[in-house]
Structure 1
């Protein structure tokens, strides 16, 4: 059974947006980024959505700020972990 290609975790977008801000692709190879993404997302709660526009319209600014803050903390922790465990 397949649920839908439209359903995804909103935190994935926030993580990728933050990676773009940090220019992660310019500093790390694809394997490092894939591992980093998994480590980051495993630290975060899930927030499943179908349409990005729903989150933009219904999500209060305070909640979005909190979600973005969680992403930033998770990325810092994951980068620290990856740097101290290079074979992880």
Structure 2
């Protein structure tokens, strides 16, 4: 196993959940990929090796705050990507 496969960024999962929660019928895969990139660039990295470790050591209030930050970042990213789309 390579080191690249040994770690993940917890915010990726949260941003995907936020994208799903804000999904619109007109969203394309390219648009959502851009939204995800922009949103993740606005959030800090939160890396872990094992999902169980992240869930065990993460306080409920901290998880709630991370979810709120992810949703806010996705909403801002949607606006940004919409305003800067290539035609």
Q: TM-score range by the shorter chain?
A: 0.7 to 0.9
Deviation at 1:69, TM superposition (A): 1.0
- Give the Cα separation in 2 of the matches to 1:4 and 1:83: 32
| Alignment: residue pair count | 86
Equivalent in the alignment of 2:36:
37
Q: 2:72 — aligned with what?
A: 73
CA RMSD after TM alignment: 1.7
What is the aligned partner in structure 1 of residue 23 from structure 2? 23
Moved over 4 A (4+): none
Q: Which residue of 2 aligns with 1:12?
A: 12
The TM-score normalised by the length of structure 2 is: 0.87
Deviation digits for residues 22-71 of structure 1 (CA, Å, limit 9, x no counterpart): 235x4411111111111000000000001111111110011111111110
Inter-partner Cα distance in structure 1 for 2:27 and 2:41: 20
Structure 1 length as normaliser, TM-score?
Answer: 0.86
Q: Unaligned stretches of 5+ in structure 2?
A: none
